[in-house]
Structure 1
Amino acid sequence: MRQLPIIETDPITNPPSTEYERGKWYKKRGYLEKALKSFKDAAQSATTDTTSSGWKEVDLSWLEYGLLSMRMRSYGKAEEAFRTVVLHSGAHAQEALNQWAALLLLQGIPDQTICERLLDETSGFPASNLMVGRSLYYIGAYPFASRCFAEQGSLYSDTCIMYVTCLIMTGQTSEAIQFIDSYLRDSTRQPRELPRPRGFERAQLTRIRQLCEWSVQHSLPDRFIVMAEALELARTAISLNMISIAEHLLADSGERAYYALICFLYDEGYRGQAISKLHQLEALPLQDQDSYSKKVCFIAAEHLYDLGKYDEAASMLEQLRLASPGNTEARFGEAACYLQSALISLSARLEENYSSVSARKEIELYLDNINAALHVVESTNWHTAWTPAQKRVENSPTMSFLN
């Protein structure tokens, strides 16, 4: 087994002084019960003066307490924490509502019930439909998110993109085109109380409209599109479940376009399709410095890691690290592989019948230290993460406009 990487940690006897920072410190190192207590103490002991700077830590502490409770499957505690943040109506209310929706989805509660429950909980808010719509969008409950957005009326430009996405995801592509046309026309010709769409939002809505046209007309453009725009169109198409359009946009455009397609699929949650395309490569571009080439290799290493093939994953991540010393994700991923391998090896030894009690205690101490180090590595978020909505797309039917 390779030498384990050194993971720098502060001794448990020297955590930060404030309860909130101490909770984050404990959480990072895997002392979850201690973290839970610190977050709760921080939330309950902080000032109740909503105008003071300390008030911000109240919501942050409850939010962290809820997330950690959800991770530890204490669903009742998590829900109460998220409800508390939402009722405070502060800067973190939307995030808390998003996580509340994710918590209910995790428990197997149907989308319609989640929608009804959150609308009931926020019924006194003037923007109740908007907030709940965003939360339902976050978990991929597109039909119900669409209804909430429609009932809200005036929408901010970022929420307009969410609403259009919901329309497309529910098969209302023509309606999406009509809404985009109306929204862009009104935003330029008439004064609006809401902020007008910024440049990138207008560009995104324009791309979405073009994709919708191709989908409705069962066609692709016969004009030349520069590669940079083709890549952005393909990325947007995949986010809208228009996989066939993305594939045709990047077809016969070279290896870089093919690598980009794999990356877009993977990042949007279509992991099975991304890995299938990755397996069709004759060789991985381990020596290439292009961003898509490096990401494809990283995806391959992540896939090996998720399969429990830690030695193979570590070898690939090591090559990526040596080729790009600044690649922190590869460095922490490699460390995670070594730590996982060590856990497996020591756990196997622990299961053997040792006559020496001291030997078992020594192994258990090593296991505790490795688990703590693994928590530190995992807290860097080196591994790709997906939203609840992206985790659901793998089982959704892909839109096809060619058949």
Structure 2
Amino acid sequence: MRQLPIIESEPITNPPSTDYERGKWYKRRGYLDKALESFKEAAKSDPTDNTRSGWKEIDLSWLEYGLLSMRMRAFHKSEEAFKTVLHHAGTYAQEALNHWAALLLLQGTTDEVIYEQLLAETNRFPASHAMVGRSLYYIGAYPFASLCFANQENLNPDTCIPYVSCLIMTDQLPEAIELIDSYLHGSKNSQGEQACPRAAERNHLARIRQLCEWKWEGRAPDRFIIMSELLELARTAISLGMVSVAEELLSDCSDHTDYALICFLYYEGYRGLAVSKINQLEALPLQEHGSYSMNVCFIAAESLYDQGKYDEAASLLEQLRRSYPEHTETRFGEAACYLQSALISLSSRLEEQYPSEPARKEIEQYMDSIHAALHVVESTNWHTTWSPAQRRIEGNSLTMSFLN
């Protein structure tokens, strides 16, 4: 999305009394420096007790401080915040480690160095390899994540599927199949007891195994399976990088499955491919009712917005709003388009020669107000976002995922 400076033009009235809630209040309104200050004050306050529960709000404050510092490119402050949460070893330790891995990636650190640095920092944790494996998986460093998972003491529901995914992403399909079979039929937990995968996990792993067999052995899955399972197979295939498998699964089916394929691709990070498939459609399915057809139209509007074609995006979003009034993201997206168009118009007027300074100041005041309104709209997260791993698929810069 287009980057715009945040200008504090809205009056500050009646902020919450606690530092943490006040920080969130300032952040929603675009007062980022004040939000940062409030989160820092909340993070420095003493917990009511020194148990893990006592650290909960302190850790949340540090996380907010770290993420906001990251957004403002104060990377040394972010690293300090994430390390602090990690050292508390509480509920949010894994989340802090994930964000720290993403921060290092954003700064251009290689996967190998991130792997070594995170392992060194977590060596006092009993499940150090599993923790680091999850963080490396989060940023798409699959070879090193796989190394971590291979060194953990036992398989468990939180690491089995990521480990299998890493093996597939690194073209180790026989090993992935073997791991699935081992986990489903003979894995033990840390106490030596038989692991008992949940039904949803068991079904997901069975689906992954089927896809691996098809890709490795050339054995196609049963084409007479029900449509819902066919779609789920395709979604899973794309999430594992098996795009050609998903395309073959959904070939020669219907417009409905074409729309589903576009959505699966886009939401997994294959944005260019998804948009190219939209461009190949004879027309957008504006008159069709269904979640996939609506999402395809919304993706098309997001693409126009990202290209700076705000008038075209606004027109498309207006049509969607009329057809799907309950879809709030469409309303916010349309508002963002109008605000961006207004900023462009006012900016072009500033470049002209004006006879008086008051006219320029008036335009600048309007722009300040629009900037503030745009920040509020963007803070609703109406636009699709992607994880660091998904952003690496097409070699896109990670910066956008942290500054929006």
Into which bin does the TM-score normalised by the smaller protein fall? over 0.9
Instruction: Decide whether aligned partners of structure 1 residues 191 and 210 sit closer, same or farther in structure 2, where only a CA change above 3 A counts.
Output: farther
Deviations 1:277-331 (A, max 9, x none): 1111000011222000000000000000000000100111111111011000101
Q: 1:158–1:201: 8 Å Cα contact kept in structure 2? A: no
Contact 1:137 1:145 in 2 (8 A): yes
Distance, in Å, in 2 between the alignment partners of 1:35 and 1:194 is 48
d(CA) in 2 for partners of 1:34 and 1:40? 10
- d(CA) in 1 for partners of 2:255 and 2:327? 22
Structure 1, unaligned runs of 5 or more? 1-8, 397-403
Alignment of 1:292-371 (within 5 A): 292-371=292-371
Task: Note the C-alpha offset of 1:11.
Answer: 4.4
* Structure 2: tracts of 5 or more residues without a match: 1-8, 397-404
SS at match of 1:43: helix
Shift of residue 194, structure 1, vs aligned partner: 7.8
Query: Residue 46 of structure 1 contacts residue 57 of structure 1 at CA under 8 Å; is this kept in 2?
Result: no
Question: Quick one: distance in 1 between partners of 2:245 and 2:153?
Answer: 31
**Alignment correspondent of 1:102:** 102
Q: Residue type of the partner of 2:77?
A: K
Letter in 2 for 1:306: D
Offset of 1:333 from its aligned partner?
Answer: 0.5
CA contact under 8 A between 2:19 and 2:39: conserved in structure 1? yes
Q: How many Å separate the matches in 1 of 2:136 and 2:194?
A: 22
**What amino acid does structure 1 have at the position aligned with 2:258?**
Y
1:180 paired residue number: 180
Judging changes above 3 Å, is the alpha-carbon distance between structure 1 residues 384 and 194 closer, same or farther for their aligned structure 2 residues?
Answer: farther
Q: Tell me the CA shift for residue 351 of structure 1.
A: 2.5
Q: Which residue of 2 aligns with 1:285?
A: 285
Native 8 Å contact 2:133 2:149 kept in 1: yes
| Mapped partners of 2:240, 2:150: distance in 1 | 19
Residue of structure 1 in register with 2:400 after alignment: none
Distance in 1, Cα, partners of 2:191 & 2:98: 31
| Letter of the structure 2 residue corresponding to residue 266 of structure 1 | Y
Aligned residue in 1 for 2:148: 148
Equivalent residue letter for 1:118 = L
Deviation at 1:51, TM superposition (A): 3.5
**Structure 1 CA distance, aligned partners of 2:191 and 2:129?**
24
State the Cα deviation string for residues 186-219 of structure 1 (Å, max 9, x = none): 2599995586221111110000000000011123
Counterpart of 2:206 in structure 1 is 206
Q: Is it true that 1:238 corresponds to 2:243 in the alignment? A: no
The residue aligned with 1:92 is 92
How far 1:221 moved relative to its partner? 2.9
- Determine the structure 1 residue equivalent to 2:257: 257
- Render the CA deviation track for 1:19-44: whole Å, top value 9, x for unaligned: 11111111111111111111111111
Correspondence for 2:216 = 216
For 2:54 and 2:38, how far apart are their aligned partners in 1?
16
Q: Is the 8 A contact 2:47 2:55 kept in 1?
A: yes
Amino acid at match of 1:116: E
Is the 2:55–2:88 contact (alpha carbons within 8 Å) kept by the matching residues of 1? no
* Residue identity matched to 1:171: D
Give the corresponding residue for 1:18. 18
Give per-residue Cα distances to partners, 1:129-172, cap 9 Å, x unaligned.
11110000000000000010110121221310000000001111
2: CA distance between counterparts of 1:313 and 1:377? 16
Answer yes or no: is the 8 Å Cα contact 2:238–2:265 preserved in 1.
Answer: yes
TM-aligned CA deviation for residue 10 of structure 1 = 8.1
Distance in 1 (CA, whole Å) between partners of 2:328 and 2:66 is 29
Contact 1:286–1:294 (8 Å) recurs in 2: yes
CA contact (8 A) 1:156 1:194 kept: no
- Tell me how far apart the structure 1 counterparts of residues 184 and 194 of structure 2 sit (CA, whole Å): 13
Q: How does 1:46-195 map to 2 (within 5 A)?
A: 46-47=46-47, 49-51=49-51, 55-186=55-186, 193=193
Q: CA deviation at 1:54?
A: 5.7
1:16 deviates by 1.4
Matches of 2:16 and 2:324, distance apart in 1: 34
Q: Pick which of 247-256 and 41-50 moved more.
A: 41-50
Distance 1:331 1:141, change over 3 A: same
Partner AA of 1:390 in structure 2: Q
Q: 1:228-264: CA deviations, max 9, x gaps?
A: 1000000000001111110111111100000000000
Alignment RMSD (CA, Å): 2.0
How many percent identity over aligned positions? 70
8 Å Cα contact 1:187-1:197 kept in structure 2 = no
Aligned residue for 1:268?
268
Flag the 1:193–1:25 CA change in 2: closer, same or farther, 3 A: farther
Query: Structure 1 length as normaliser, TM-score?
Result: 0.92
Q: Distance in 2 between matches of 1:331 and 1:246?
A: 32
1:53 CA displacement? 6.0
The 3-state SS of whatever aligns with 1:152 is coil
Separation of aligned partners in 2, 1:239 and 1:324: 28
Q: How many residues in Structure 1 have an aligned counterpart in Structure 2?
A: 388
Name the CA distance, whole Å, in 2 between partners of 1:338 and 1:25. 25
